[in-house]
Amino acid sequence: MGLLEALNKVKSEKYDPKKDDISSGFKPIPDGTYTVTLSGVNHGVWEKSGTDFVRFSFDVVTGEQAGRQEYITPILASKKSNGDPMPESVLARSIKMVQKIGAMVGFDVPDKVFMGANESEDYEMIQNEFREAGVIGKLLKLTIKSSPNKKDPDNPWRNYKFEEAEQPTTASVEDPFKDAATGMEITDDDLPFGK
């Protein structure tokens, strides 16, 4: 979709910039299984709360949703925002998610990324290890399945399943200059046009 098509879509939604929220009309990627690329792993800090996060970014590469992105932010903080301890089940699930994403793109996530002095160090190590492993841009399958959120029914939980995807291969192309090192000399008589 180009910029003109996006503008026409906004106009068709009758968006009023004086009254409407910029997120109005936004719909998450529907439930389903998608071929995606791992397009980024980024450590950052939420502006309002000042808390750290690591975000995995996925770009859908095939089908009707191609070009759309899904962002997944595992939680490795030892405490909730109210100061209570983070449930062990939440931390274990997030560790499994990071390891699973790594495994599906051919990267064995080292344990050290979960052993920093705090979650900020852990997030930074996760970002760096994924980047250094050279797996950004690798394909995988992402299945999204929504489930009801009792506390916020308008925002259902998004559950994820990851699977390996076949990686594209580079075509084998013969080097057109392979004979250049043989010392072959070309004279004017070898050229297809006159002198």
> What is the pLDDT at residue 195?
59
Amino acid at 146: S
Per residue in 47-85, pLDDT tens?
A: 888 899 999 999 999 999 999 999 999 999 999 889 999
**Number of neighbouring beta carbons within 10 Å of residue 107:** 18
Amino acid at 114: F
Highest mean pLDDT among 3-7, 9-13, 17-21, 94-98: 94-98
> What is the pLDDT at residue 95?
97
Residue in 103, 100, 129 with CA at minimum distance from that of residue 42: 129
Phi, psi angles (nearest 5°) of residue 143: -105, 130
In the predicted model, what is the mean pLDDT of the chain?
89
Structure tokens that stand for 77 in this block: 């903080």
Residue in 135, 134, 70 with CA at minimum distance from that of residue 104: 135
Q: Are 39 and 57 in contact (CB under 8 A)?
A: yes
Whether the predicted pLDDT of 21 surpasses 90: no
Buried b (16+ CB within 10 A) or exposed e, 122-144: bbebbbebbeebebeebbbebeb
Alpha carbon distance, N-terminus to C-terminus of the chain: 52
> What is the pLDDT at residue 11?
76
The label of the residue with tokens 């008589």 reads: 189
Structure tokens that stand for 7 in this block: 């503008």
Whether the predicted pLDDT of 181 surpasses 70: no
Rounded Cα gap, residues 98 and 80, in angstroms: 19
Per residue in 163-178, pLDDT tens?
A: 999 998 887 777 777 7
| pLDDT tier at 1, thresholds 50, 70, 90 | low
> What is the pLDDT at residue 17?
79
This prediction has a pTM of 0.76
Q: Are 73 and 54 in contact (CB under 8 A)?
A: yes
Per residue in 96-110, pLDDT tens?
A: 999 999 999 999 999
| pLDDT tier at 185, thresholds 50, 70, 90 | confident
Rounded Cα gap, residues 167 and 157, in angstroms: 30
Whether the predicted pLDDT of 180 surpasses 70: no
3-state DSSP: the chain helix, strand, coil percent, rounded to 5? 25, 25, 50
> What is the pLDDT at residue 194?
64
> What is the pLDDT at residue 186?
76
| pLDDT tier at 128, thresholds 50, 70, 90 | very high
163 Cβ partners below 8 Å, 6+ apart? 104, 140, 141, 143
| Range in 23-27, 35-39, 114-118, 120-124 with the lowest mean pLDDT | 23-27
